[in-house]
Amino acid sequence: MMGSAGGSAGSGTAKVDPACAVCQAPASQLCGCEAHALEVALSQAEDLYLPPAMRSIRSWVRRNARDYILGYFHTLSEPCKDAYALHLDTIKATCLARSGPSSPGSGSGSGSGNNNNNNNNTNVHVARARAEYHRNIDRAWALAVKRYPEVLNHFYSLVRITLPGDDDPAMKRVPGFDRPPKAGDKRQRADRRKPPVRSRYGHTPSSPHFPAPPQFPAPPQFPMTPASSKAPPPMPHMPPPPPPPPPPHVAHWQTPPPSPP
- Using one digit for the tens of pLDDT, what is the confidence trace for 126-139? 888 888 888 888 99
- pLDDT-based confidence at residue 252 (cuts at 50, 70, 90): very low
Contact 24, 12 (CB under 8 A): no
**pLDDT value for 43:** 93
Give residue-wise pLDDT tens across range 87-123: 777 877 777 676 655 545 454 555 555 666 667 777 8
pLDDT tens per residue across span 188-242: 555 555 555 555 555 555 655 655 555 655 655 555 554 444 555 565 566 666 6
Through-space distance between the first and last CA atoms of the chain, rounded to whole angstroms: 89
| pLDDT tens-digit map of 42-57 | 999 999 999 999 999 9
Rounded to 5°, the CA angle 222-223-226 comes to 135
| pLDDT at position 114 | 61
